Amino acid sequence: MRQSILQSDVDARGLVIDPRTKLLLLITMAVFVLGSVGIAQLSFINPVLCLIPFCLLLLSRRIKVAVVSLLIYALIYLVTMLVMPHTTGLINFLLLGTSVVVMRLLPGILTGMYVLSSTTVSEFTAAMQRMHITEKLTIPLSVMFRFFPTVADEFSSINDAMLMRGVSFGGGNVGKMLEYRLVPLMTCSVKIGEELSAAALTRGLGGSVRRTNVCRIGFHLADAVVITLCAAPYAGLLLSRCGVL
């Protein structure tokens, strides 16, 4: 069987951390790395934060993805530090652009990939329930966990079909190429979404009774480490606002 990067695999998962920790990590990454809210005195913390997703991917046995993206990140980081100060004009501009995009987006994307690929639907719903979040929000979000891997699967089939027809991005109209991919993707996704909901409804989803959950989640040592690392930039921000730093 083919397996895409987004499909969570319960057989060989390696390190397991609580979905709530993952959520905190995701938010922290978005605020401090993507949004770069941090303060100048604490600029060393960003690279540390960026290392977390690489470590987590390594620990959950997605070694190839982790190593390749770490190399890309390191390369761009070095270029930004060493080469960029010596360039001017257009080259400087291009380098700046790529470095900003890669350094800000890549860690966030990797975290997202890690969260999607390592969380099962029942872990996620269990976590949401513990946080007392309404089912009206939990159900659509948990469908998303199931939906993305399926869409990724569909997309690879469509790509195969395009290859066989000799239609590719190489020549011709880019807009058309996008359209040819998106039209079948949309129709398939709608169809699968519809069938998924029908199946879930006939198994009693959306009832008035309170759902139970057999999935056991909880905080362990690994969670403590990640949470501490995530808390650091918030603490720094708070302290600087109070005027301590």
Partner 1 sequence: MIEIKNVSFSYSNSKAVSLSDVSLHIQKGEAVLLCGESGCGKTTVTRLINGLIPHYYEGEMFGSVRVGELDVSKAELYETARVVGSVFQNPRSQFFCVDTTSEIAFGCENMGLPEDEIGQRIARAAEEMDVIALLRRSIFKLSGGEKQRVACASVSALQPEVLVLDEPTSNLDMAAIEKLWEVLLLWKKQGKTIIIAEHRLHWLMDICDRVVYMSRGKVETDCSMREFILKGDNRLTEMGLRPLYLKNFAHMNGSRKEHGGSIFLSDFFFCYKQAKTPALDIRQLELPKGKIVAIIGYNGSGKSTFARCLCGLEKRCRGILNEAGKEKKAKQRLKCCYMVMQDVNHQLFTESVLDEVLLSMKEPDEAAAVKILDSLNLLPMKELHPMSLSGGQKQRVAIASAVASCKEVIVFDEPTSGLDLRHMKEVSENLKQLSEQGKSLFIITHDLELIFECCTHILHLENGKVIGNYPLDFEGCKRLKLSFGSTVETDFIDVRKKANFTFNCRLQRANKT
Q: Which one among 203, 218, 221, 243 touches partner 1, defined by CB under 8 A?
A: 203
- Contact segment (CB under 8 A) with partner 1 among 34-42, 102-110, 162-170, 229-237 equals 162-170
Q: Does 14 contact partner 1 by CB under 8 A?
A: no
Which residues in 141-159 are b (16+ Cβ under 10 Å) and which e? ebbebbebbbeebbbeebe
Q: Which one among 31, 122, 229, 240 touches partner 1, defined by CB under 8 A?
A: 122
Q: Mind spelling out the 3-state secondary structure of 16-32? A: CCCHHHHHHHHHHHHHH
Spatial distance between the Cα atoms of 187 and 181, rounded to a whole number of angstroms: 11
- Contact segment (CB under 8 A) with partner 1 among 19-27, 142-150, 217-225, 233-241 equals 142-150
Spatial distance between the Cα atoms of 25 and 143, rounded to a whole number of angstroms: 21
Do 87 and 95 touch, CB atoms closer than 8 A? yes
> What type of residue is 167?
V
Spatial distance between the Cα atoms of 212 and 194, rounded to a whole number of angstroms: 25
Q: Does 130 contact partner 1 by CB under 8 A?
A: no
**# of chain residues touching partner 1 (CB under 8 A):** 59
Q: Which one among 195, 219, 220, 241 touches partner 1, defined by CB under 8 A?
A: 195
Dihedral angle computed from the Cα positions of residues 34, 40, 46 and 48, in that order, rounded to the nearest 10 degrees: -170
Spatial distance between the Cα atoms of 130 and 124, rounded to a whole number of angstroms: 10
Q: Does 183 contact partner 1 by CB under 8 A?
A: yes
- Contact segment (CB under 8 A) with partner 1 among 8-16, 44-52, 97-105, 235-243 equals 8-16
Spatial distance between the Cα atoms of 50 and 33, rounded to a whole number of angstroms: 7
The interface with partner 1 within residues 48-87 (CB under 8 A) comprises none
Smallest distance, partner 1 to C-beta of residue 10, A? 4
> What type of residue is 146?
R
- Contact segment (CB under 8 A) with partner 1 among 39-47, 82-90, 152-160, 234-242 equals 152-160
Q: Does 92 contact partner 1 by CB under 8 A?
A: no
For partner 1, the binding residues (CB under 8 A) are 1-3, 7-11, 120-122, 142-143, 145-146, 149-150, 153-154, 157-158, 160-167, 179-181, 183-184, 187-188, 191-192, 195-215
